Amino acid sequence: MRVAVIQQANSADLAANMDRSEALVRDAAAQGAELVMLQELHRSLYFCQTEDTDCFDLAETIPGPSTERLGQLARELDIVLVGSLFEKRATGLYHNTAVVLERDGSLAGIYRKMHIPDDPGFYEKFYFTPGDARFNSGASGFTPIQTSVGKLGLLVCWDQWYPEAARLMALAGADMLLYPTAIGWAPADDDAEKQRQLNAWITIQRAHGIANGLPVLVANRTGFEAAPPDGGDGIQFWGNSFISGPQGEFLAQADADSETVLLHDIDLQRSETVRRIWPYLRDRRIDAYEDLTCRFRD
């Protein structure tokens, strides 16, 4: 199956951002992609560089205008399309939410970001409520979304640092792990620190693929986004979107600075082969892991 991840630069023009996203998705579909994933919060600039109540105006309902447009695009191109939206769930209740649109344009499912950062330049706790640990249906928040191209273990950005999230998706039968992302460097960091951060980000996600015997798709944004006047120094998003296989092998990787449609043909049967020789799920000591639910072991 041919998959594509979109690496895009954003501006303050919401309509132009969506038009550009659509053009890149069309490019991916024209090259045979059946599954296409956009980056985190692709409608706008990364507004979490500062705390500003006016930014809540960017939020929208799901279903809503963006899911309608993405659904029409998925139906026209006969693809499964993954988007990332600032969701207004109710008055005063907002989420960082990934959406999956099926080939027929229907909404196959949503995933609300579970781990919410709060760091200089990434003030997400001001805007986003964490996803539900359990939905009203009783399903876990870490539940893959069933689609015509497989069960998608969809996680978002800060979730990518947590092995528990990837493991729970794998245990629920995910065929692949997907990470829409918006991450970059602070301009004040020196080159050595920037390289350490980038290497850590790549390594942790490839490791999730290895530990669970699954392919991993990562879509990051690129370009410099200045902070608002009362904010910080801005963020240089580091791109480097990639696709890796179930042994962590690079299948495709973008550079730091280019808008890119990154494509690769992945073989989901390889997970079966890899899990037979590296049977991590078989050898897990589930009888000895109860302390994983502790905040800290004193």
Structure tokens given for 44: 């706008």
Q: Which of 87, 113, 124, 225 is catalytic?
A: 113
CA-based angle 128:133:136, to the nearest 5?
Answer: 100
DSSP-derived secondary structure letter, 140:
B
Q: 294 catalytic, yes or no?
A: no
Q: 157 catalytic, yes or no?
A: yes
Helix, coil or strand: residue 207? helix
Burial 14-45 (b: 16+ CB within 10 A, else e): eeebbebbbebbbebbeeebbbbbbbbbbbbb
Give every CB contact of residue 21 below 8 A, 6+ residues apart in sequence. 6, 8, 38, 42
Cis-peptide, bond into residue 117, ω within 30° of zero: no
Q: Which of 34, 40, 124, 225 is catalytic?
A: 40
Going 176 to 184 to 21 to 249, the CA torsion angle's sign is negative
Contact 113/128 with Cβ under 8 angstroms?
Answer: yes
Give every CB contact of residue 293 below 8 A, 6+ residues apart in sequence. none
Distance between CA atoms of 172 and 275, rounded to whole angstroms?
A: 15
Contact 43/58 with Cβ under 8 angstroms?
Answer: yes
Helix, coil or strand: residue 178? strand
Cα-based distances in Å from 254 to 4, 106, 243, 257 = 11, 30, 9, 9
Q: 113 catalytic, yes or no?
A: yes
Q: Which of 87, 88, 157, 225 is catalytic?
A: 157
Residues catalogued as catalytic: 40, 113, 157
